Amino acid sequence: MPILILLTLLLAVAACGETPLEELEAEAAECPERPPLRLGEAPSSAVVLNAYYLQEEATRDLRKGLAESPEVEETLAKASALGAWAVRTNGYNDGADKRGDSAIQVAPLTYDEVSLRGLDLVLARAAHYGVKLVLPLGNYWNAYGGARQYVEWAGLPSPVEGDARFFTERAVIEHYKAHITGLLSRVNTFDGRRYGEHPAVLAWELLNEPRGVGLDPEGAAMRAWVDEVAAVVKAHAPGHLVGTGEEGLDTSYAGYDELFWRDAAHGFLFAAGSSFRRNTASPFIDFASVHFYPEDWGVAPADTARAGALWFSEHAAIARELGKPLFIGEFGLLNEGHFLLDERRALYRGWFLCAWRTGVGATAPWMFAYDARPDAWDAFTFYYRDGTVPDNRGNRYADLIVEAAALSGRR
């Protein structure tokens, strides 16, 4: 082969090679500098860990006759050791498949007391460890019951996942409001504190990842639901923050880089039937909420670093216009997805820095696990395993949590 052709081929291969890690991190961190807006008493850009399973594990241990839950103890202790300010975990469990195991609401406004005591235990132990909690009150998706379960309980025909009638049918809305009223009025059996006044709670979220599929394209119906339900939470938990729990989907490209997003991701992000701007503007909402899963959303690998930086900074700017902090409630890259571990670490480090630079309230990577929880149970799992240091590669991101926690509050 002629040497010129060989050199040309080698240069072409090199040009198509992986982006250097430092460039990947820098692109992910490329966000405008803004003053911090804090999430209540939390320091600026506080780190929150997602560990959705705590009530479930606590309930199972109580059913065994244990006085405490080893999984809850380990998770909260390690979150504290890593410097996390809070843990985001389920404040709901309505799943028919969990009845007799860990379901809290087993029929409309009918409750399993042991399952409620499981949530009591999570609240009490979080207070013991000095770790705050962010608690979604329900789920849009089918897991642990979801919107579909409420529509089914209302006797409506052909309920589906993320059923739009959850947000519009009066019987369903009244049921959900009554459930929230009862839950926030509950007195914890371990420490005697009412949920709506419990010192371990940083914030309540109206729903995990509400979407407006099947609602009006302007987001008016979703905003009406947000106002009505959030007012109930504020009435019964006046000292706690309230957020929507949404992913940041919107009804138009106003305030976003339209050219980038039209090319980079699926169009559903901006044709959602739910408006991030409109929902965040609710007088009953204290902070803005976004999630970010680029691989699930069809973002190309080459666009992923910038997509995260834009998703965080653009939503933070909109929330800032409304005088509210942004909570990045979930973000993650698949352990077996587009990126190798070192690339994921570079992206995570860059996004943590982006969040700090642009003054978000808090960031919460998905998903932190106790040691015995199988890796295969969640495609985004990371650990802080017993007997290791945070930067052990088997932990994946524990050292990045330490770094981000050390950075938080330094502005």
The catalytic residue positions are 209, 330
Q: How far apart are CA 331 and CA 328, in angstroms?
A: 7
User: Side-chain half-sphere of 292: how many Cα atoms within 13 Å?
Assistant: 27
Q: How far apart are CA 385 and CA 332, in angstroms?
A: 20
Contacts of residues 113-119 at CB distance under 8 Å and 24 or more positions apart, as own/partner, are 114/59, 114/62, 114/63, 115/55, 115/59, 116/186, 117/59, 117/62, 117/189, 117/190, 118/55, 118/56, 118/57, 118/58, 118/59, 118/60, 118/62, 118/69, 119/55, 119/58, 119/59, 119/91
| Other CB atoms within 10 Å distance of the CB of residue 67 | 7
Burial of 317 (0-12, 13-18, 19+ CB in 10 A): middle
Tell me how far CA of residue 101 lies from CA of 55, 98, 106, in angstroms.
11, 5, 10
Q: Hey, which bits of 102-258 come out as E strands?
A: 105-107, 110-111, 132-136, 201-205, 241-243
Q: Hey, which bits of 95-198 come out as E strands?
A: 105-107, 110-111, 132-136
Helix-strand-coil percent breakdown of the chain, rounded to 5?
45, 10, 45
Tell me how far CA of residue 78 lies from CA of 73, 75, 375, 383, 387, in angstroms.
8, 5, 17, 9, 12
